[in-house]
Amino acid sequence: MSLSFRPNYLPEALADGFRTNGMTLVHKPLGELQLPTGQLVACDPFVFPDAQPYSVKLNTGNFPVVLSVAIEENDQRVAFATIKFKSTEAKRWELMHVPSDDPNNLKQGEIFGYPVDSGTGCFMDRTAGEILSRKMREHPNYIETMMKEMDKVYVHTWSSMNISLDNANLIAFSSGLGDGLYATYAGYDASGDVCLAVTDFMLLDGDLV
């Protein structure tokens, strides 16, 4: 079953400088994500480091990650986190899901997403998740190390980090308004290749049709 959606607001919202409802979305590059296996994990790294990778197999390599930060007069929030696999334009979108999600059980208007309980989301390769889980089991203070990394680049209401985990890395970022369930979409170009993966932190209104 294909989980095809049309997030009407995504093409405009992913543009640097897009303005809506008093907000301006400004791109903030976070470096390149290393995907040695092409198995992408998106999760709350502080609470669910052993999350499953998405079912969609992606290309291996290093790919830029960009945040779309919604800036208002006295506030900044991460609206979208995007991995750019290709420079081509997305022509269709599919809701990404992990193997344990059954698309046949998804009702109209529902989404698959990952839970956030620490106000933080992330992208990483499956191998990075395995290393992160082991570090957190063997070194209880490793969470404090991660928090210090986040604090290094803290801006009022959001922060991020990019840390190495052997032959992969973890790129983490504040999740919009905080805790919740957040969907990630794969954007396919005219050739049928995945050109983007986007986590939507639900700051913008937009119907999924």
Residue 40 lies in a domain: yes
Q: What is the reported pLDDT for 100? A: 94
Quote the CA–CA distance of 145 and 151 in Å, as a whole number: 10
Rounded to a whole number, what is the distance in angstroms from the first to the last CA of the chain? 16
Residue 206 lies in a domain: no
Residue 46 lies in a domain: yes
Cβ atoms of residues 91 and 188 within 8 Å = yes
Q: What is the reported pLDDT for 105? A: 85
Residue 208 lies in a domain: no
What is residue 54's DSSP assignment? P
Q: What is the reported pLDDT for 11? A: 84
User: pTM for the complete prediction?
Assistant: 0.93
Which DSSP string do the residues of 149-164 spell out, in sequence order?
HHHHT-BTTB-EEEEE
> Domain containing 153: what range?
4-200
Residue 209 lies in a domain: no
Residue 19 lies in a domain: yes
Q: What is the reported pLDDT for 197? A: 97
Residue 193 lies in a domain: yes
Q: What is the pLDDT along the chain (209 residues), one digit of tens a residue?
A: 345 555 667 888 899 999 988 899 999 999 999 999 999 999 999 999 999 999 998 999 999 999 999 999 889 999 999 999 999 999 999 999 999 998 888 887 788 999 999 999 999 999 999 999 999 999 989 999 999 999 999 998 999 999 999 999 999 999 999 999 999 999 999 999 999 999 999 988 653 33
Pairing of strands 18-20, 160-165: unpaired
What is residue 90's DSSP assignment? P
Residue 207 lies in a domain: no
Our CA angle for 171, 175, 176, nearest 5°, is: 140
The count of structural domains within the chain is 1
The CA-based diameter of the chain, rounded to the nearest angstrom, is 46
**Cα dist from 157 to 81, 142, 146, whole Å:** 16, 23, 17
Our CA angle for 149, 154, 159, nearest 5°, is: 75
